[in-house]
Structure 1
Amino acid sequence: MSEGRSSGDSPKSWLSRLTLALSGEPQNRQDLAEMIHSAGDRGLLDPDALRIIEATLQVSERQVREIMIPRAQMIAVRADMEPRDFLPLLIESAHSRFPVLDADNADEVIGILFAKDLLKLILEERNERFTIKDFLRPAFFVPESTHLDRLIKEFRAKKNHMAIVVNEYGGIAGVVTLEDALEQIVGEIDDEHDFEEDEDAFIREIAPGEFVIKAFTPIADFNEHFGTRFSNDDFDTIGGIVMSAFERLPERDEKIVIDHWEFTVLAADRRAIRQLKIQKAS
């Protein structure tokens, strides 16, 4: 008599195996997280699936203020600007949506401008004066204390991809996108405009005395490698030191000298510096 699997049996799916592993019924969120991590340690979940599940559990505990693009780094259009004034900015940023600020009150967002809506300007001969309000979509506002799970639900319900973040006084605190929220679960979502970074090391020598470093290199690691004495009292990463020196979010290829070191921005997005080149200042 054969001892093989009967025709009605089938290999257990990862979901069946995970259900079996979690059969101890967790009593709270911490128990659930520990059981899921244990399932990963036993090979019931691959590392990517484990990371996504753990990140999903944390979404309800995080707030919009933690992931938003601060107001100082927002790329916005003023309502009194002409296309020749704001189109270069839109093209350079390569974004698809832009907050539009009232001409007389920079703390009031009057709508969202979609880059694709401006394509009709190329095809139409407009004899009348351009009015940006003719192209605006309604703005969606959220408090900076909104939890990310609630934010994602709101994005789905309103079919929106961008929200203006407001503080407790009603002022603009920043902007957040659906992509920003989803990246907290699935990780960084690269697009065709993102700069490809070396994945293997924080610091890489590209020529004698020239180095490419990731901006989120811990200051302690940077100091140890280069024999520097940058303080980590106010910042955790070397990117924080560089941004503080600029007093704004710098653009690609901008340079600055700090304590006899020349820093060149190799990559930056709308939220932070990503990659730097450094060498001793001449």
Structure 2
Amino acid sequence: VADVMVPRADILSVQESVTLNDLIALICEHGHSRVPVHRGSLDDVIGMVHIRDVLAFWGRSDEFQLFSVVRSLLFVPPSMPIQELLLEMRATKIHMALVVDEFGGTDGLVTIEDLVEEIVGEIEDEHDRTIEPKLTDRPDGLLDADARVLVSDLEAKCGVDLLSDERSEEIGTLGGLVCELAGRVPLRGELIAHPSGMVFEIVDADPRKIRRLRVHPNLDYGDEFSAPNKEA
């Protein structure tokens, strides 16, 4: 689960002393249905709160006591297989797990949605905002692009053919094109060249996928950045 967890630095959580109004405002702002609750630091998480339980006290803040709505969550090691955790969440009906290290410190957080998205592909719920992939001009003549930008969009913008007709049916996005050129998922900072002379700089990526690219249109870097030999 270490590969799909939200890292510690990005966990949204609340202190056990949080007020009802502050808790509702936080949930509404970030669109989370579950939020972990901690004492002192994230290494002392006591449970989680669900938006349904919190909103039941709407307009009755004088009656609200956080401990009365705190639910249990799971504590799992980073090495736990995704499928195993998914089965445990379904069996226990606890849909949030804290990922802890061997000393009990918090490494990250996983929800059932994270696991399902990893297995079957990204899903959207009522809180997700649909964000179109962007292809943006830079003042230096380069382009910033989400990896989900369509190859055809970049071809139209730059007036260049990046895929043959046969390959265009198999590869749709820039991320897919660059992985095809490299023969793997390239690392952040790598430069991957296309036979047309276009060079793709990896701006953001993890071991599973590319997220963002910088496109260098028709730049001649010489043989140093030629497309990788997949048979090497």
TM-score under structure 2 length normalisation = 0.60
2:20, 2:61 within 8 Å by CA — same for their partners in 1?
no
Q: What amino acid maps onto 2:145 in structure 1?
A: I
Q: How does 1:110-189 map to 2 (within 5 A)?
A: 110-123=46-59, 125-128=60-63, 130-189=64-123
SS in 1 for 2:107: strand
CA distance in 2 between partners of 1:153 and 1:87 (Å): 30
- Other-structure match for 2:7: 70
Q: What amino acid maps onto 1:204 in structure 2?
A: L
Larger % of helix: which?
1
Q: Tell me the number of residue pairs that the alignment of Structure 1 and Structure 2 aligns.
A: 171
Deviation at 1:211, TM superposition (A): 4.9
SS in 2 for 1:66: coil
Q: What amino acid maps onto 1:91 in structure 2?
A: C
> Identity of paired residues, percent?
36
Change (3 A) 1:115 1:178: same
Gap regions ≥5 residues in structure 1: 1-63, 231-236, 241-272
1:109, 1:139 within 8 Å by CA — same for their partners in 2?
no
- Other-structure match for 1:270: none
CA distance in 2 between partners of 1:83 and 1:127 (Å): 9
- 1:214 and 2:146 equivalent? yes
CA RMSD in angstroms comes to 3.6
Greater Cα radius of gyration, structure 1 or 2: 1
TM-score under structure 1 length normalisation = 0.51
CA distance in 2 between partners of 1:98 and 1:78 (Å): 10
Change (3 A) 1:91 1:127: closer
2:142, 2:214 within 8 Å by CA — same for their partners in 1?
yes
2:138, 2:144 within 8 Å by CA — same for their partners in 1?
no
Deviation at 1:239, TM superposition (A): 3.1
Change (3 A) 1:187 1:85: same
- 1:204 and 2:169 equivalent? no
Cα distance per residue 1:95-121 (max 9 Å; x no partner): 10011011x344111111001111122
2:203, 2:213 within 8 Å by CA — same for their partners in 1?
no
CA distance in 2 between partners of 1:222 and 1:184 (Å): 26
SS in 2 for 1:138: coil
- Other-structure match for 1:82: 19
Gap regions ≥5 residues in structure 2: 149-174, 176-185, 216-232
